[in-house]
Structure 1
Amino acid sequence: MDLPREHAATLARIEARVRADPRFTGLGAGGSLLSGAVDAYSDLDLVVVVADEHHEAVMAARREIAASWGRLLAAFTGEHVGEPRVLICLYADPLLHVDLKFLRADELADRIEDPRVVWERDGALSRALAAAPAAPPEVDPQWIEDRFWIWVHYAATKLGRGELFEVVEFLAFLRARVLVPLAGAARGLEPRGVRKAELALPGLVPALVETAPGYDPALLGRAVLRCVELYAALRDALPDPPAHQEDAARAAVAYLEEVVGR
């Protein structure tokens, strides 16, 4: 693997610790390492496979284990992203963000990508990956359409009330959950929020800039309207567009335009 020096050194150090510990049967790497896009600003996404009989004890001692693998500055578990099995770590010497996901081999059946095997004991990781295919995340246009117009009405109420930070957050939500995923789906890209949107979807960037205007009620109102326009264009350009919620769309947009007009 061709990695920046800091990443290579950290991965080698963790691999050596995992390899030497009989509680572990494999180490995999995912994220940007799979695509060969690791740069100086990337983190390391690692999967640590734990032998079944040691799993409970390892999960209870994850922080202490991670601290034994380098100078650990801080660590917390990933409940905020719906993944409590992940320990999110900041190591020193070199300063690097490392995500450590501790799993039993059978838990690898439910995954969105196939990690690269860094090390394994007796083929344990390879067997687990071969047992079930990865299921990459997909965009569900109908799921979005069924919710989009309620979201628009909600944003209009916040705008009308003057809760502008709510509108700022709403615009970020639409970029990450609707606009960029739909644009990416047309190019066969997996939905990953707005990550690397500037590189993957450069043609969309000028329009996205119009949805990030800062803290100003008039500009925020126009930004929400721009999101509606972008959404409709991206939705209708899909090979299989969702069934439109036409009544909800008309009502929500009319209300938004009324609020913006005030």
Structure 2
Amino acid sequence: MRTPIKRDDLESARSDLLATAVGWFKREQDVVGIFLGGSVAAGSADAYSDIDLRIVVQPEHHLHYVERRREIPTQWPGFLFNEWLPNTQHCVSHFQPFGKIDIFYYDAAKLTPSPWYRLQIRILHDPRGIVTDLVKRSEELPFLVGESDVDLSISKGLAAAHETYRRAKRGELFYAQTLLDELRHHVMQADDWLHDRTPETTVMAKFDNRASGEVLSSLAMSYCPCLDEAILAALSSLARAYRNQVLALHEKFQLSRPLRNDVAALDMVA
């Protein structure tokens, strides 16, 4: 039977988990930097926000930590389970009562300036000044959306729309629902690009609060029962909204991809 989760308990447990993790890594001689990102560092976290922890490791020992990324959190109180992907440098670990910590392991020799380091971060351990220097060298770097970024997103959005239609027609309704959700992701991405929202603003405001009203309405209407006709109707409605976004993206970014092809692809399922 589910025990009610109290917000105060979550925030207290998150604070304890962060202290435990930072304390553990500080004792490791090979760790030369620890910093916090995400909503907790930005001051926009709520009780359900996770911990985004970044660990900077000496080059010769970096692989060792990456290989142990699933093992390390199991040593801390309240551990439940890990989620991870092969050939990556991070691991997401879940803890009681309902906590989550996402830990990335960085090779100190491969750290390069990036506009992402302009976001709010909290430096927790930096004995050699590596993280401080990285942040300083990143101060003037802008977030830029290139044509290739928009090109990829549109192609993925069109593919999700077509595949939703195909799967719904074939009666693969659960799969069709997941593909419809992928299309929603590209609708959300387009809304951010068209309104010049950068990662600075997206960290501070969840999509539900920052999105344009028309897009929120289109997204809300696209959630439907797991029935073929309902899915196709939701797809049609969302594809029409996405069509307007694609037209605007072409104009804003002067895309070289053929506009007529994108419009024709959406008109097929709208």
Give TM-score, length-normalised by structure 1: 0.79
Pick one of 91, 99, 103 that aligns with 1:87.
91
Shift of 1:74: 1.9
C-alpha RMSD of matched pairs (Å): 3.0
Tell me the residue number matched to 2:62: 55
C-alpha change, 1:59 and 1:150, in structure 2 (3 Å) is closer
Residue number in structure 1 paired with 2:264: 250
Unaligned runs of 5+ in 1: 258-262
Contact kept? 1:86, 1:99, Cα under 8 Å: yes
Rounded Cα–Cα distance in structure 2 between residues aligned with 1:64 and 1:234: 44
Q: 1:225 to 1:63 in 2, by over 3 A?
A: closer
- Equivalent in the alignment of 1:180: 188
Q: Displaced runs of 4+ in structure 1, greater than 6 A? A: none
- 2:209 aligned partner: 199
Structure 1 residues 52 and 188, CA, compared in 2 at 3 Å: closer, same or farther?
same
Between the aligned partners of 1:88 and 1:112, the Cα distance in structure 2 is 23
Alignment of 1:129-140 (within 5 A): 129-131=135-137, 138=145, 140=149
* Count of equivalent residues: 247
- Structure 1 residues 136, 118: CA separation in 2 closer, same or farther (over 3 Å shift)? farther
Q: Is the 8 A contact 1:52 1:104 kept in 2?
A: yes
Correspondence 1:24-103 to 2 at 5 A? 24-79=31-86, 84-92=88-96, 95-103=98-106
| Inter-partner Cα distance in structure 2 for 1:112 and 1:216 | 44
How far 1:132 moved relative to its partner?
5.3
Cα distance in 2 for partners of 1:45, 1:146 equals 30
Q: 2-side partners of 1:19 and 1:135: how far apart?
A: 32
Q: Summarize the Cα distance change of 1:95–1:107 in structure 2 as closer, same or farther, 3 Å threshold.
A: farther
Output the CA distance in 2 between the equivalents of 1:63 and 1:146. 34
Cα offset, 1:241, TM superposition: 5.3
Match of residue 229 from structure 1: 240
Matches within 5 A, 1:122-201: 122-131=128-137, 138=145, 140-146=149-155, 148-176=157-185, 178-190=186-198, 196-201=206-211
Q: In 2 relative to 1, CA 71–155 (structure 1 residues): closer, same or farther, beyond 3 Å?
A: closer
How far the C-alpha of 1:160 sits from its partner, in A, is: 2.0
Query: Equivalent residue for 1:260?
Result: none
Aligned partner of 2:221 in structure 1 is: 210
Once residues 48 and 23 of structure 1 are traced to their aligned partners in structure 2, the CA distance between those partners, rounded to angstroms, is 10
Any conservation in 2 of the 1:32–1:38 contact (CA below 8 Å)? yes
Secondary structure in 1 matching 2:223: coil
User: CA 1:135–1:164 in 2, change beyond 3 Å: closer, same or farther?
Assistant: farther
CA–CA distance in 1 between the matches of 2:173 and 2:144?
A: 32
Equivalents in 1 of 2:154, 2:45: separation in Å?
35
Q: Which amino acid aligns with 2:133?
A: R
